[in-house]
Amino acid sequence: MIESGRLRRALLGTTATVVLATALVGVAPTAVAADARSQQWYLDAMRAEDIWKKATGAGITVAVIDTGVDPDTASLKGKVLKGWDASEAKGEETDDYRGHGTTIAEVIVGSGAQGGLRGLAPDAKVIPYRVSDTELQNEQAVNALDMAEAIKAAADSDAQIINVSMSSDYYSEEGREAVQYAHAKGKLIFAGSGNNAQEGNKKQYPASYPEVVAVAATTSDGVVADYSQHGEAIDIAAPGSRIPGYCNESLTKYCSSEGTSFSAAIASASAALIWSAHPDWTGSQVLRAMFESAARSDDWKPGTVSTYLGHGIVRPNAHISRGEGKPGDANISPLTNEPTGTATGGASSSPDATSTAPSATASTQAPDGKSTSGAPVAGSTESAAADADGGSSTGLVIGIAAAVVVVLAGAGFVLARRRRSA
């Protein structure tokens, strides 16, 4: 699982070459904001403005385990709590060495100020946990145990939701123990399923651990993206193509990006919205409502899940505005069908921006294995944004019908099941 003493791990967001916004410094904020916001097609498709009238993510905290999060971007000011650098590389958790973690944080909670991205759950907070990717591991000495230790630290923090937009090729007992620990404490863990469907489609971790919500990527047509990995691990899907993201660590401009990094972030934000609307619910209830309200086509077979889209495409407005999706048993996980922790949104109060760092538990966790070294850039669709709210039979629902054709062609449905054991 270790190559030359180093963990191999990949980011799940790839950056295309099309620059969406000019440099943020010295440019009229309104001009940049209009350009960047216009590229966030998924917010309009998901009817975010309608959702925000009822729920904004207030009171919910998301742990972002990634390349670091810069709290000083205009869109993140006041939204980033004290975190922890698990990587032990140069710098700290606020030093984003790729620009990836800051993008993910903005996708989840960004205010949209001065040209920044508008987050789907703009009143939620984030706690950054910095871990290493393959390139950083090759550049300098790092903590080989950082991913498992970061997950455990996040589990011990005030975060109700843990977002991991990184992946590794190999299962490890240590990584599994870390997510089991978080799951037992009632946390919801979302991870991208991976971007290498056309290059082997190998299972990715932590997404493929039974206790983690594996998120696939969809296009603006509502169909599964051709780079998005598939299989029985998939639990749900979310938009992942043509998403604005920082081009690099300079954090000065956005480029068109794609990958299950963004799908995981949008799923995490969707959970934050639902949880903020029901702060007395447990994570299991939030996730069950997400599964039951997800967008599916009319010919989706009862009692089955798709190996491409899981339970369907996230649709928080369907629950928040119309009550679709019931919470069910507070103590039974819809992932494992077994008892889990019962922490609620209200139980973990959202700390302020000056809170102390969550303590990292002492750990002998080994690294989470090797990862692929890159992801193919899939061709993005050119249609207008689909109706991700799934109203009537238009927009996303039509797109899903097309996705179902693709899925059926590959025998892409399995019986709804208790998640696989390791």
DSSP 199-233: TT----BTTTSTTSEEEEEE-TTSSB-TTS--STT
- Tell me the pLDDT of the chain averaged across its residues: 81
Judge whether 321 counts as a catalytic residue: no
Q: Which of 100, 230, 278, 311 is catalytic?
A: 100
- Distance from C-alpha of 411 to C-alpha of 297, rounded to nearest angstrom: 16
Per residue in 181-225, pLDDT (tens digit) is 999 999 999 999 999 999 999 999 999 999 999 999 999 999 999
Q: Is 158 a catalytic residue?
A: no
pLDDT (0 to 100) of residue 103 = 97
Tell me what the mean pLDDT of segment 268-275 comes to.
98
Please say if 85 is a catalytic residue.
no
Q: Where are the domains of the chain?
A: 10-415
Question: Hey, what CATH class is 10-415 in?
Answer: alpha beta
pLDDT per position as a tens digit, 110-132: 999 988 899 999 999 999 999 99
Most confident of 188-197, 299-308, 333-342: 188-197
Q: What is the pLDDT of residue 10?
A: 85
Catalytic residue among 261, 263, 268, 348: 261
What letters, b where the CB count within 10 A reaches 16 and e where it falls short, cover 306-322? Answer: bbbbbbbbbbbbbbbbe
Is the torsion defined by CA of 287, 54, 384, 266 positive or negative?
negative
What pLDDT was estimated at residue 172? 87
